[in-house]
Amino acid sequence: MTEITFNQPYDTAEAKVIIATKEEELTYGAAQIIDRSAFNRLKALIEREDTAENKKEILVLDMVKEAIVLLRVKNTIDTPDLEDLGGKLYGRIKNYKSAAVFARKLPKTDFTAEKVAESLAFGIELASYSFDKYRTKKKPSEFPKLETVNFVAKDKLDKKAYEDKAALANAVRYARDLTNEPANELTPEIYAADIKRLEHLGLKVTLLNQNELKKKGFNMLLSVSQGSANPPYVCVIEHRGNKKSKNWDIALVGKGVTFDAGGISLKPAAGMWDMKQDMAGSAVVAASLKAAAQQKLNLNVVGIVGLVENMPSGTATRPGDIVTSLSGQTVEILNTDAEGRLVLGDCLTYVQQQYNPERIIDIATLTGAIIIALGNEMAGMFTNDDCLAELLSISGEQAGEELWRFPLNDNYRKMIKSDIADIKNISNGRAAGSITAACFLESFVNKGTPWAHLDIAGMDKVEKAKSLYPLGASGFGVRLLNQFLKNLEKK
């Protein structure tokens, strides 16, 4: 991981980054910070590399142990693009020990030098993440060398301005770390204890253990964990940022299946290992509360995560079993691999009973079908409220984590009616699998409460590295929900 600093000396860095806009030519004025000979070599490099139709975004003048890096920014750039450019910049400078960026105001845009530094630094923080704790034989030469990136500008940069983004980068790392952990190292019990440690940030964390869950009647959730040797936990995380109000502005609900073998409806062996990440939604919820606490958001936010392991065994739920959910509705479990909705359903009921939140967002790696529909590019959104849909979509665009809305209506709702219980956990065919899953969740939401379900299956893992997403767990959703909470705070 690369450390970000501000206002340290510029000249001692091995890689010196200067910023030009794409529209203006590199003038000596823009590059006052480098010496005349480096400037001339950079000019020559530009002439060699630029073609009439394409001016390169990043140009690197390599000088054995040093480099001058030219970043060229379009004046149509927005924040996600600039963050992305920060990630790409990291890719080009990661093998130098230190780097310094001379930040500047971008003409014809709202970007001040501070904002430019913030976006690039954030991009570098996300791109420089790696999960190496289990690689004992990796040689030092295989690790990137970049230890610090220092930001300077003509005037002193306000370091405090970066604190919010630094907290967010930290939260994304937290979600990625949790999601990358293998299931033997992150059982529901270990996970719950980890979340409990968030209390040092001023959050209140309540853990419900198996006995308490039994007493309260979380029977759907318990039907998922009953085949596992690892007992379930539910964690409730409170951020009371607005002490003046008694109301809970929002509840965030996360699926935390620490391993999804499918239960008796066992999954095929190939790719089953990916199901250690079936707790990604819960990691996003825990990380969102962590960020909310560190940023001291002026909102009352409650998070709830259901932590269970879905295993086949002699004590596991059988297809055809009927359970009475915490809401009182009876549920026929026809496929034990459609377990996420069982976990979330009881959590939705509980959080409404206890907190009566003004709105609810749940987030889950819920269906393989959403990957068929959207691939690994966007997450699915299902909601009963157009306002919530709008605010979530905008937040997604601002954060660079986008959503696509799907429909909900009675024709789909009918598909999960059971012949012998109130509802069943799968529909008859495979058609509209993501929508019928959302309809199942909707039946645990009180009428009139704005609710949105985000299906992030396909987004939780990066198979082809992108600028801000190194391989492995993505933490997708943390930036989106943080932007959403910030927008809600302003409303």
Q: Give the position of tokens 């299906």.
A: 455
Question: Which of the following is catalytic: 92, 104, 290, 341?
Answer: 341
Site membership for Zn ion, residue 278 (CB under 5 A): yes
**298 and 215 in contact (C-beta within 8 Å)?**
no
Site for ligand BES in 452-491 (CB under 6 A): 457
Beta bridge partners of 208: 234
Q: Which of 215, 212, 194, 227 is nearest to 318 (CA)?
A: 227
Q: Which is nearer to Zn ion, 82 or 435 (CB)?
A: 435
Please choose, out of 9-17, 231-239, 338-346, 387-395, the segment that lies near ligand BES by the rule CB under 6 A. 338-346
Q: Taking the mean position of all CA atoms in its chain, how far away is CA 93?
A: 25
Which residue in the set 325, 365, 383, 384 belongs to the binding site for ligand BES (CB under 6 A)? 365
Neighbours of 37 (CB within 10 A): 8
Site membership for Zn ion, residue 337 (CB under 5 A): yes
Site for ligand BES in 420-449 (CB under 6 A): 426, 433
- 165 is annotated as an active-site residue: no
Site membership for ligand BES, residue 340 (CB under 6 A): yes
Closest distance to ligand BES from the beta carbon of 266 (Å):
11
Closest distance to Zn ion from the beta carbon of 185 (Å):
19
Which residue's C-beta sits nearest to ligand BES?
368
Site membership for ligand BES, residue 337 (CB under 6 A): yes
Which residue in the set 7, 95, 335, 354 belongs to the binding site for ligand BES (CB under 6 A)? 335
The Cα 274–Cα 264 span in angstroms is 18
Please choose, out of 49-57, 147-155, 205-213, 363-371, the segment that lies near ligand BES by the rule CB under 6 A. 363-371
Site membership for Zn ion, residue 460 (CB under 5 A): no
**20 and 72 in contact (C-beta within 8 Å)?**
yes
- 341 is annotated as an active-site residue: yes
Q: Taking the mean position of all CA atoms in its chain, how far away is CA 425?
A: 27
The Cα 115–Cα 332 span in angstroms is 53
The Cα 171–Cα 165 span in angstroms is 10
**341 and 366 in contact (C-beta within 8 Å)?**
yes
Among ligand BES, Zn ion, none, what binds residue 393 when CB lies within 5 to 8 Å by partner kind? none
The Cα 148–Cα 302 span in angstroms is 36
Q: Which is nearer to ligand BES, 396 or 458 (CB)?
A: 458
The Cα 94–Cα 75 span in angstroms is 26
**233 and 186 in contact (C-beta within 8 Å)?**
no
Please choose, out of 115-123, 209-217, 364-372, 398-406, the segment that lies near ligand BES by the rule CB under 6 A. 364-372
Could you tell me how many residues of this chain bind Zn ion (CB under 5 A)?
6
Beta-carbon contacts of 29 under 8 Å, excluding residues fewer than 6 positions away, are none
Question: Which of the following is catalytic: 41, 159, 267, 413?
Answer: 267
Could you tell me how many helices (H) and strands (E) the chain has, helices first?
Answer: 14, 19
Which residue in the set 83, 84, 332, 339 belongs to the binding site for ligand BES (CB under 6 A)? 339
Nearest 10 degrees: CA dihedral of 482, 81, 33, 13? 60
The Cα 64–Cα 98 span in angstroms is 14
Site membership for Zn ion, residue 340 (CB under 5 A): yes
Closest distance to ligand BES from the beta carbon of 457 (Å):
4
The residues that touch ligand BES, with contacts defined as CB under 6 A, are: 260, 278, 335, 337-340, 365-369, 426, 433, 457
Interface with Zn ion (CB under 5 A): 257, 260, 278, 337, 339-340
Active-site residues, by number, are 267, 341
